[in-house]
Amino acid sequence: MAANVAVIAGAGSGLSASLARLLSREGLRVVLAARNVDKLAALVKETGAQAVETDVSDVASVERLFEAADKAGPLEIAVFNASGRTRGPIAELDPEAVKQALLVGAYGGFLVGQQAARRLLVRGSGSILFTGASASLKGFSGSAGFAMPKFGLRGLAQSMARELGPKNIHVAHFIIDGQIASPARTPERPDSHLSPDAIAETYLAIHRQHRSAWSFEVDLRPWVETF
């Protein structure tokens, strides 16, 4: 019998890599989606995951991603980690860059969420998990090009949760309120950056929640955060 599948869209070396390691250890077949799959070679070798070159803002590309996932096994979890962003003063933002940020960060979430929903509705269970940020809740100065796609993604997640929850599909949105730790960053204080492994554990815990007490939104921040 084929193992169940987890699709991670927008895969890279941070949270997505931690999720891939954790979910593969838990027995799922992991399918990673990224524009540049060459950067995933080491992770693929480590986890046995499959990497699929994907543009999340393109309908046909996302369809091919999920067709590849279908061949790996039945879908159980879809995680949308792709993020579109452009920063700068509103009067100076490049309209094309903002458009691309919206296409990747919001429209891409719709395309991935739609393909996942079609499969999980047939299955009758599963989870669709969206990665948000502080900008999902608050538009900061100079950050319109990031806030717009993150606000849109949160609205998408809310609508999908209300529609799909009664059909036994768990949709959740995560507010990542802080920087995620990486070898390239040396925080000034211990644990002042979020551990990607710890975030991944939370994603898995939400996926495994009993449906009598599902969470829709979870915010994660370092313990040193003063709000």
Cβ-Cβ contacts under 8 Å for 49 (sequence gap 6 or more): 20, 24, 29, 30, 31, 32, 40, 43
Q: Sort 153 into a burial class: Cβ within 10 Å, 0-12 / 13-18 / 19+.
A: buried
What is the pTM assigned to this prediction?
Answer: 0.94
pLDDT at 157: 98
The H-assigned helical ranges of the chain are: 15-25, 41-47, 59-72, 95-102, 108-123, 144-164, 196-207
pLDDT at 139: 93
pLDDT at 191: 84
What are 164's two structure tokens? 């799909």
pLDDT at 206: 98
- Phi first, then psi, for residue 186 (nearest 5°) are -115, 100
What are 98's two structure tokens? 């903002």
What are 96's two structure tokens? 């094309």
pLDDT at 85: 82
pLDDT at 225: 77
pLDDT at 226: 72
pLDDT at 37: 94
pLDDT at 190: 73
Give whole-number Cα distances, 32 to 8, 51, 120, 166, 192, in Å.
5, 5, 18, 28, 28
Among candidate residues 17, 8, 131, the one with its CA nearest the CA of residue 78: 8
Residue 16, amino acid: S
pLDDT at 227: 66
Which residues of the chain carry a pLDDT beneath 50? none
